């Protein structure tokens, strides 16, 4: 039975998982404290939670169990590693709290479905990163497509190609375990952007490989330690959207240098060059049939926002009793796409997706930093 939780803004947020990305949430959610306010934090490692609480002035530090039992928390913000996302999401929902999770939503579609079913049963909200798609860059791209600037979309390409995260992340092992790899780590930014712009995906095929069986950490403090690679690190996918649009996807931790565009959409009357979907802003460029070259399109939405924007947007959605934009339903569809691409690589067959979602509703225009509707 869900405990009675507040339906008045600001909703009170308990953050679980005080690692590398938590700083961005603490900092970027500050302007949105009138909607969603971080009031406590916890981590498996209590020292980690204490350090972040001190750094960001969080009123309360506690254990995960205490945070989940706290009647003063409305939303659990789950910033743990991918392998713990489902466990914490389910525990939060069972404790009667809404939950917003970092990506990937789950390691399998089946596990993610359990989270949505638990939330539905209890009348609670589930949100999930990436919320970068709510920022000025991708929202402007979405608007340009809706406004017909490139005609009818026909095709797209999305490429995240680098040599992995062991050169900078302080504890990078999880990136090479199941639930990591470039597809589950970075794929959500690109795929959520494509679905935001073009709607849900129907069918995929894919190939994948592990380019390097072992990684050596070069960042501190674990410099020199080896990681056994357990998940594909170079993935090529083909996607067919419900609308008929087709897209090519390359996600790799195996490439030293390349000239691939990050993300482009090709239409009957022009092309759209999208910004890095792992950011909230960036350059948007349009080419229309007959133009001599690309031209810059001004951003039509706020781009100074950051990670945590989706949590505040979910808080508003909860109080207005409407769907949130960075939703669990969307995140589950993204997991289904990623899992199906990997499965296609294993089986050699095209995979029809088991899930779908609504194209996320556009953000309202004219919002300034710290403001939501
Ligand atoms: N680091 C980034 O730049 C970045 C950017 C965007 C998203 N993310 C995502 O954010 C999530 C966290 O990434 P990170 O880089 O902060 O990882 P991290 O390893 O730095 O931090 C994760 C924290 O979660 C804690 N934790 C793990 N399991 C737990 C559990 N069961 N209960 C409570 N605490 C637990 C760990 O002790 C650690 O402090 C991942 O899903 C990642 O994909 C990271």
Return the CATH number at 155: 3.30.360.10
77: containing domain: 11-131+307-325
3-state secondary structure the chain: CCCCCCCCCCEEEEEECCCCCHHHHHHHHHHHCCCEEEEEEECCCHHHHHHHHHHHCCCEECCHHHHHHCCCCCEEEECCCHHHHHHHHHHHHHCCCEEEECCCCCCCHHHHHHHHHHHHHHCCCEEECCCHHHCHHHHHHHHHHHCCCCCCEEEEEEEEECCCCCCCCCCHHHHHCCCCHHHHHHHHHHHHHHHHHHCCEEEEEEEEECCCCEEECCCCCCCCCEEECCCCCEEEEEEEECCCCEEEEEEECCCCCCCCCCEEEEECCEEEEECCCCCCCCCEEEEECCCCCCEEECCCCCCCCCCCHHHHHHHHHHHHCCCCCCEHHHHHHHHHHHHHHHHHHHHCCCEECCCCCCCCCCCCCCCCCCCCC
Whether ligand 1 lies within 6 angstroms of the CB of 18 is answered as yes
Q: How confident is the model at residue 2 (pLDDT cuts 50, 70, 90)?
A: very low
365 CA from centroid of ligand 1 (Å)? 32
202 CA from centroid of ligand 1 (Å)? 31
Residues 158 and 249 in one domain: yes
Residues 174 and 31 in one domain: no
Residues 27 and 122 in one domain: yes
In a domain, 314, yes or no: yes
Report which of residues 216 and 179 the model is more confident about. Answer: 216
Ligand 1 atom with minimal separation from the 18 CA: 39
Residues 194 and 341 in one domain: yes
Ligand 1 atom with minimal separation from the 129 CA: 7
Ligand 1 atom with minimal separation from the 49 CA: 39
Per-residue pLDDT tens over the stretch 289-319: 999 999 999 999 999 999 999 999 999 999 9
264 CA from centroid of ligand 1 (Å)? 30
> Ligand 1, atom 21: nearest CA belongs to which residue?
19
10 CA from centroid of ligand 1 (Å)? 25
Residues 43 and 56 in one domain: yes
- Find, among 127, 136, 87, the residue nearest to 103 by Cα: 127
> Ligand 1, atom 44: nearest CA belongs to which residue?
21
Residues 162 and 174 in one domain: yes
Residues 72 and 165 in one domain: no
Residues 203 and 256 in one domain: yes
Q: What is the mean pLDDT of residues 75-104?
A: 98
Which residue among 79, 106, 220 is best mutated to probe the pocket of ligand 1, counting the most ligand atoms within 8 A of its Cβ?
A: 79
In a domain, 266, yes or no: yes
Whether ligand 1 lies within 6 angstroms of the CB of 276 is answered as no
17 CA from centroid of ligand 1 (Å)? 6
Which residue among 14, 17, 166, 172 is best mutated to probe the pocket of ligand 1, counting the most ligand atoms within 8 A of its Cβ?
A: 17
Per-residue pLDDT tens over the stretch 195-228: 999 999 999 999 999 999 999 999 999 999 999 9
| pLDDT computed for residue 206 by the predictor | 98
Q: How confident is the model at residue 6 (pLDDT cuts 50, 70, 90)?
A: low
Whether ligand 1 lies within 6 angstroms of the CB of 182 is answered as no
| pLDDT computed for residue 108 by the predictor | 97
Q: How confident is the model at residue 287 (pLDDT cuts 50, 70, 90)?
A: very high
In a domain, 195, yes or no: yes
| Mean residue pLDDT across the chain | 96
Whether ligand 1 lies within 6 angstroms of the CB of 77 is answered as no
pTM of the model: 0.97
| pLDDT computed for residue 211 by the predictor | 97
Burial of 315 (0-12, 13-18, 19+ CB in 10 A): buried
3-state secondary structure 148-187: CCCCCEEEEEEEEECCCCCCCCCCHHHHHCCCCHHHHHHH
In a domain, 255, yes or no: yes
> Ligand 1, atom 32: nearest CA belongs to which residue?
44
43 CA from centroid of ligand 1 (Å)? 10
Q: What is the mean pLDDT of residues 9-33?
A: 98
78 CA from centroid of ligand 1 (Å)? 9
Ligand 1 atom with minimal separation from the 43 CA: 34
311 CA from centroid of ligand 1 (Å)? 17
In a domain, 364, yes or no: no
Residues 90 and 226 in one domain: no
Whether ligand 1 lies within 6 angstroms of the CB of 20 is answered as yes
Whether ligand 1 lies within 6 angstroms of the CB of 19 is answered as yes
Q: How confident is the model at residue 179 (pLDDT cuts 50, 70, 90)?
A: confident
| pLDDT computed for residue 71 by the predictor | 97
In a domain, 361, yes or no: no
Residues 143 and 79 in one domain: no
Whether ligand 1 lies within 6 angstroms of the CB of 209 is answered as no
In a domain, 80, yes or no: yes
> Ligand 1, atom 38: nearest CA belongs to which residue?
19
Residue 93 maps to which CATH number?
Answer: 3.40.50.720
In a domain, 83, yes or no: yes
Ligand 1 atom with minimal separation from the 88 CA: 31
> Ligand 1, atom 30: nearest CA belongs to which residue?
44
Total structural domains in the chain? 2
Residues 121 and 170 in one domain: no
Residues 57 and 138 in one domain: no
| pLDDT computed for residue 1 by the predictor | 35
């Amino acid at each position: 039975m869900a405990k009675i939780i507040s339906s008045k803004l600001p909703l009170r947020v308990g953050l679980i998982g005080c690692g590398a990305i938590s700083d961005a949430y603490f900092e970027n959610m500050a302007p949105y404290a009138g909607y969603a306010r971080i009031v406590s934090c916890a981590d498996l490692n209590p020292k980690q939670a204490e350090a972040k609480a001190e750094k960001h002035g969080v009123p309360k530090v506690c254990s995960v169990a205490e945070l989940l039992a706290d009647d003063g928390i409305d939303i659990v913000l789950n910033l743990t590693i991918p392998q713990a996302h489902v466990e914490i999401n389910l525990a939060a929902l069972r404790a009667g709290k809404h939950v917003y999770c970092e990506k990937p939503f789950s390691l399998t579609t089946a596990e993610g479905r359990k989270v949505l079913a638990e939330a539905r049963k209890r009348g609670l909200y589930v949100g999930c990163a990436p919320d970068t798609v709510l920022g000025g860059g991708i929202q402007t791209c979405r608007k340009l497509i809706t406004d017909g600037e490139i005609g009818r979309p026909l095709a797209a390409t999305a490429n995240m190609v680098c040599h992995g995260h062991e050169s900078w992340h302080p504890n990078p092992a999880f990136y090479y375990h199941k639930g990591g790899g470039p597809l589950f780590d970075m794929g959500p930014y690109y795929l959520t952007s494509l679905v935001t712009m073009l709607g849900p995906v129907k069918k995929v095929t894919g190939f994948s490989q592990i380019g390097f069986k072992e990684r050596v950490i070069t960042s501190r403090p674990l410099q020199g330690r080896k990681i056994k690679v357990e998940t594909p690190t170079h993935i090529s996918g083909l996607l067919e959207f419900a609308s008929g649009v087709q897209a090519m996807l390359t996600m790799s931790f195996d490439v030293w240098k390349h000239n691939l565009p990050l993300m482009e959409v090709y239409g009957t009357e022009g092309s759209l060059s999208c910004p890095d979907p792992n950011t909230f802003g960036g350059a948007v460029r349009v080419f229309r049939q007959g133009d001599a070259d690309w031209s810059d399109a001004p951003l039509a939405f706020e781009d100074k926002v950051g990670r945590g924007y989706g949590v505040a947007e979910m808080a508003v959605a909860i109080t207005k009793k409407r769907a949130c934009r960075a939703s669990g339903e969307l995140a589950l569809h993204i997991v289904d796409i990623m899992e199906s691409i990997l499965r296609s690589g294993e089986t050699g067959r095209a995979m029809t997706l088991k899930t779908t979602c609504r194209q996320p509703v556009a953000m309202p225009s004219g919002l300034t930093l710290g403001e939501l509707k």
